[in-house]
């Protein structure tokens, strides 16, 4: 019996601190960290901030907005994508920094975007035909940089699958 084994992997960069980043990347990470303060997260106490640079030079922020009816809440990344969709329709995103402030316990492990946001980011990338560079971090310390968000969602379900 023939079995083809395949492997999926991707490269990412790991930085020890914001001081090791380029000025633009440092600004994005610092603003994403600040944007955590805009989160409305009284249920999870997990405040997420996102900050994006668009091709047209605009910067926009997002944060998670929760609800007493838990599934109604929206993540920071998708709140930001929704803003971009209204303010600058179809404008490609150069980079998006995402950070968090976990009031339940301190950790500076770089944020891992949830599956639903990975799906939304990937759709945005395909729709405007440009990868979104992700800068993932906690409030301090390490930053992971991933050149395209779809690396985080292998075997993803896409619009083409509906044809």
**Residues known to be catalytic:** 77
Identify the residue among 27, 30, 46, 144 touching ligand THU (CB under 6 A).
46
Q: Which is nearer to ligand THU, 3 or 72 (CB)?
A: 72
Q: How far apart are CA 152 and CA 163, in angstroms?
A: 24
Window 106 to 145, contacts with ligand THU (CB under 6 A): 113-114, 117
Q: Which is nearer to ligand THU, 19 or 151 (CB)?
A: 151
- By CB under 6 A, is residue 150 in contact with ligand THU? no
Q: Are 92 and 86 in contact (CB under 8 A)?
A: no
Least separation in angstroms between residue 99's CB and ligand THU is 10
Distance of CA 107 to CAs 30, 35, 72, 102, Å? 17, 17, 26, 7
- By CB under 6 A, is residue 31 in contact with ligand THU? no
Contact segment (CB under 6 A) with ligand THU among 11-19, 30-38, 44-52, 129-137 equals: 44-52
Q: Are 99 and 109 in contact (CB under 8 A)?
A: no
Looking up tokens 């929206």, which residue turns up? 74
φ, ψ of residue 41 to 5 degrees: the values are: -135, 55
């Amino acid at each position: 019996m023939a079995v083809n084994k395949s492997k999926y992997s991707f490269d990412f960069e790991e930085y020890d601190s914001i001081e090791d980043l380029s000025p633009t990347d440092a600004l994005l990470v610092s603003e994403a960290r600040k944007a955590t303060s805009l989160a409305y997260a009284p249920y999870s106490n997990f405040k997420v901030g996102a900050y994006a640079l668009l091709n047209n030079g605009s910067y926009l922020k997002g944060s998670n907005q929760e609800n007493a009816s838990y599934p109604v809440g929206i993540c920071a990344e998708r709140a930001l994508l929704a803003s971009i969709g209204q303010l600058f329709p179809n404008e490609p995103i150069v980079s998006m920094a995402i950070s968090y402030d976990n009031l339940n316990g301190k950790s500076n492990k770089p944020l891992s975007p949830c599956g639903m946001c990975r799906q939304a980011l990937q759709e945005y990338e395909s729709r405007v035909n440009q990868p979104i560079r992700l800068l993932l971090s906690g409030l301090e310390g390490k930053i992971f940089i991933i050149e395209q968000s779809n690396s985080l969602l292998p075997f993803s379900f896409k619009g083409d699958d509906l044809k």
